Chain A
Amino acid sequence: MLFQPAIIALMLASGLAALLVLASVPFAWTVVRRWNLADGSEAQLRMERRTYLVATLLKIVMAAELAALVLFVFNADRMATLFTGAMCAVGTLKVDPWGFPTLYLKLAVFFLAGCWLVLDHVDNRGWDYPLIRVKYAALILLAPVLVGSAVVQGAYFMGLRADVITSCCSTLFSGGGVTVTSNSVASLPHGLALSLLAGSLAAVLASGAVVLRWRRCGWLHALLSVAAFVIGMSAIISTISVYVYEMPHHHCPFCILKREYGHIGYALYVPLFVGTVCGLGAGIAGWAGRRPSLSTMAPLVARSLAAWSVGGYALFGLVALWLIERSHLILFEVVP
């Protein structure tokens, strides 16, 4: 265990978030079983009022998890000096087996909480709360993820001992790698990665345009958003980061967040994350539009989410393009 302000803050945040959601589970279960709007009893009224609390808490949890995600990566990078051989966040995360699972779980929590908030937002537009059971069932499913994320993070931080020899990004991401996935991601050919990226961005923008124009196919947009997220991340690791570092064998998704590179990573990740979470939300809102009481409101929500999503992906694409354009590294010879 390392006593560090950022670590204490992270443990505090995820512990409290898990506790809050866990504490809402019995209530969620009551809603799933007992919800009945036609009932004018005081118990039903109390239940309705309690939903405001849960929604507010979830908003706070979501905000905290978002902040925690940034803080976690930032801190992992900063702690690299404490571990022999660790040169950036990758090294710190490889110090014990819980590092990367923590990161993945944090990502999952962020996206799931985002989806839940969209669900809540849409449901609140329908006069009969048509999705309330779905929503609270989803909350019950969300709880173990949050608890898991807190526990895994705890295990990770507890297991940290300064000065453990770890692999760093240069050995992890270029040859002789430790993780298979990261390696195969890093060894993705640049041309393939960029064309996949261009293709998926085009697809996701097109499907977003369909949602915007005809207010349908939200599910397709959500699916393509997930694909674009995965491909976007792979492209960052395999190719875009290389352009940023201007070193052909340096593939690291974290170093681009560093000050040395002008924190440029945030300009890539923030739009990508916004695009993805809004794309998922657009899918959820589109699906909710099938309920009669939401048939007018949900497509509107889907539309504005799709607009945000399209904006996010477009910005991501532009930033990526600009990074490639300004780089001194040439990976492709232009034949005149």
Chain B
Amino acid sequence: MPRPADIAVALFTVAACAVAATFVDAAIGVSDATPRLAERAALVERLGLTDLSLFTEARYTRHLSQADAHAPFQDHPFAIEHFPSGSLVTPPRHQGGH
């Protein structure tokens, strides 16, 4: 009968291998996604887009990097404001150019 210690070590090894497998899985996933990513990047380049369309509820959050210096409802450039995505993303800090 195998000893509990050996079983435990074996289990931990398996779990560690599974963790290693996530890296492999991730690498496969990334290489699968590469054409998709490239396509998106190409679209961005062709259209000259600047931002992700993750945050579309307010007119200044779709293009975060293009927001006004004083966008509406935004009391302070760093204020977490009313829209949920606004709490997720602050307006860009570097608007002055340099």
Contact = CB atoms under 8 A, between A and B. Distances in A.
Q: Do chains A and B touch in the complex (CB under 8 A)?
A: yes
Contacts of B93: 162-163
Contacts of B94: 163
Interface in A155-190: 162-163
Nearest to A162: B93
Contacts of A163: 93-94
Interface string B54-98: 000000000000000000000000000000000000000110000
A163 B92 CA distance: 12
B25 to A, nearest CB: 17
3 contacts: A162-B93, A163-B93, A163-B94
Give the contact-size bracket for chain B.
under 10
Nearest to A163: B94
B91 to A, nearest CB: 15
A162 B93 CA distance: 10
B88 to A, nearest CB: 14
A171 to B, nearest CB: 19
Top 3 nearest A-B pairs (CB, nearest first) are A163-B94, A162-B93, A163-B93
A315 to B, nearest CB: 23
A162 B90 CA distance: 14
A245 to B, nearest CB: 24
B27 to A, nearest CB: 11
A166 to B, nearest CB: 15
Nearest to A165: B98
A163 B93 CA distance: 10
A20 to B, nearest CB: 28
Nearest to A84: B98
A163 B94 CA distance: 9
B77 to A, nearest CB: 15
A310 B28 CA distance: 40
A257 to B, nearest CB: 17
Contacts of A162: 93
A115 to B, nearest CB: 31
Nearest to B94: A163
B87 to A, nearest CB: 14
A162 B94 CA distance: 10
B93 to A, nearest CB: 8
A226 B45 CA distance: 53
Interface in A112-166: 162-163
A162 B92 CA distance: 12
A201 B93 CA distance: 51
A80 to B, nearest CB: 17
Interface in A252-279: none
B90 to A, nearest CB: 11
A141 B35 CA distance: 58
B61 to A, nearest CB: 21
A148 B71 CA distance: 44
B58 to A, nearest CB: 24
A163 B98 CA distance: 9
A275 to B, nearest CB: 27
A319 B94 CA distance: 45
B35 to A, nearest CB: 22
A62 B93 CA distance: 39
Interface in B19-76: none
